[in-house]
Amino acid sequence: MAGKAKRRRFGWVRKLPSGRFQASYLDPAGVRRYAPTTYESRPEAVDWLTIQEAAMVRREWTDPDRGKVPSGLAVRGWGRGSCPCGGRDRSCSGPLGDRIASLVRRRTQAGR
């Protein structure tokens, strides 16, 4: 049949009202994952999907949300005595560690 679009075997590409294209796929856990950006053309969106599929086939795909911790929580928990080294490493304890924690706290509060 002429004009009938071929069905993709991995992921989806849809055209948004803005005219841009959005790509998405189901990860191994069945969670729908969207591309971090939209694309000007369908081939660009398909290229992104191809890269994601190849990573899964090679078993190199990692969950994009893995390891994400809200920066405020990470900073509140960091400081004197909270490092796994138990304070033996001078870079994470004492005045230097307190100073770094203070600077990071100030930066994350300013960026709210």
pLDDT digits (tens, 9 = 90+) for 33-85: 999 999 999 999 999 999 999 988 898 888 887 766 665 555 555 554 555 55
Kindly report the average pLDDT of the chain as a whole number: 76
Q: How far apart, in whole angstroms, are the C-alpha atoms of residue 85 and residue 107?
A: 25
pLDDT above 90 covers a percentage of the chain that reads: 35
Tell me which of 34 and 93 has the higher pLDDT: 34
Query: Does residue 24 contact residue 32 with C-beta atoms inside 8 Å?
Result: yes
For the chain, the straight-line distance linking the first and the last C-alpha, in angstroms and rounded, comes to 54
Residue with tokens 């694309």: 39
Copy the structure tokens of residue 58. 């090679």
